[in-house]
């Protein structure tokens, strides 16, 4: 099994940034409320909720915060009316961007995102023009010192996973969204520690970003987008060389 791991590397960098900013709890809470409204507040029957609860716990999100978010979704607590919106565009160099938003004010969100696109020399695009070049995939991160590759491959394949790669002390297991939750559960039942698991967007075609200054500007742009309270996730088609990422990360 082999495949791309670029998305994983960039997501790792951004996840660490989010945690430092202390905004991950509020973003997760909004996402939990949304999935509860759609699928109910029982994590045993709402797989998406179960995944988000696990994500929250791995980020040390207080149990009270999770409980409040669930009750807002079920209507036990009053909550603002939240909507899911997706914005798309292209950064300099033709790098595709997909910005997923959960907001109580679409006009505010649109204005903030449009401002950042303009300030960073990027162009917003019509809905579907960028997302059609991405596919939804599940990704599961497993520490490579906790399980052997052959054992993990066997478990993952039997549960329906499609791909496994090793990088930076971790195994990255990918799966179709339809089988993703089954793979996560199979690994957990087998006692395999899962560092993180989520369903996200992966580009069909990556756009190489070989220039360090361009890569730095792109990551700062993505960072500014993710810093907005309403933004849940930002996905790009950028293929940034590992050496450049390391240099930028060390600055």
Residue 109 lies in a domain: no
Can you give the CATH number for the domain in which 47 is found?
1.10.10.200
Residue 33 lies in a domain: yes
Residue 85 lies in a domain: no
Residue 17 lies in a domain: yes
Beta strands in the chain, from DSSP E residues, in sequence order: 83-91, 95-103, 123-125, 134-143, 163-167, 170-175, 196-203, 207-209, 231-236, 238-240
Residue 124: phi, psi to the nearest 5?
A: -75, 150
| Alpha-carbon separation of residue 57 from 46, 156, 185, 204 (angstroms) | 17, 23, 16, 31
Contact (Cβ atoms closer than 8 angstroms) between residue 86 and residue 125: no
Print pLDDT tens along the chain (251 aa): 333 445 444 554 455 455 555 678 888 899 999 999 999 999 988 888 888 898 888 778 899 999 999 999 999 988 888 889 999 999 999 999 999 999 999 999 999 999 999 999 999 999 999 999 999 998 888 988 889 999 999 999 999 999 898 877 888 899 998 899 889 889 989 999 888 788 889 899 999 988 899 999 998 999 899 889 899 889 999 988 878 877 776 55
pTM of the model as a whole: 0.81
Q: Determine the pLDDT at residue 56.
A: 86
Instruction: Provide the number of structural domains found in the chain.
Output: 1
The contacts of residue 219 (CB under 8 Å, 6+ apart) are 10, 13, 240, 248
Residue 45 lies in a domain: yes
Domain containing residue 22: 6-74
Complete DSSP assignment for 196-238: EEEEEEEESS-EEE--HHHHHHHHHHHHHHHTSTTEEEEEE-E
> What is the β-pairing status of strands 207-209 and 83-91?
unpaired
**Whole-number Å distance between alpha carbons of 112 and 43:** 34
Residue 16 lies in a domain: yes
**Whole-number Å distance between alpha carbons of 63 and 57:** 8
């Amino acid at each position: 099994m082999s495949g791309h791991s670029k998305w994983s590397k960039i997501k790792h960098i951004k996840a660490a940034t989010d945690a430092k900013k202390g905004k991950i709890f509020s973003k997760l809470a909004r996402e939990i409320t949304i999935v509860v409204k759609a699928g109910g507040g029982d994590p045993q029957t709402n797989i998406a909720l179960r995944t988000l609860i696990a994500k929250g716990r791995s980020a040390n999100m207080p149990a009270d915060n999770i409980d409040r978010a669930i009750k807002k979704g079920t209507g036990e607590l009053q909550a603002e009316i939240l909507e899911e919106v997706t914005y798309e565009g292209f950064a300099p160099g033709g790098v595709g961007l997909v910005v997923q938003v959960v907001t109580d004010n679409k006009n505010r969100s649109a204005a903030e995102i449009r401002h950042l696109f303009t300030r960073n020399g990027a162009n917003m695009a019509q809905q579907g023009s960028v997302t059609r070049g991405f596919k939804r995939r599940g990704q599961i991160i497993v520490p490579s010192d906790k399980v052997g590759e052959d054992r993990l491959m066997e478990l993952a394949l039997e549960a329906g996973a499609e791909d496994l790669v090793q990088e930076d002390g971790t195994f990255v297991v990918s799966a179709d969204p339809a089988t993703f939750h089954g793979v996560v559960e199979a690994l957990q039942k087998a006692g395999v520690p899962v560092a993180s698991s989520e369903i996200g967007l992966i580009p069909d075609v990556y756009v190489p970003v070989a220039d360090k200054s361009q890569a730095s500007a792109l990551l700062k742009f993505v960072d500014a987008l993710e810093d907005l309270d309403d933004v849940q996730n930002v996905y790009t088609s950028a293929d940034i060389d590992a050496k450049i990422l390391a240099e930028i990360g060390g600055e």
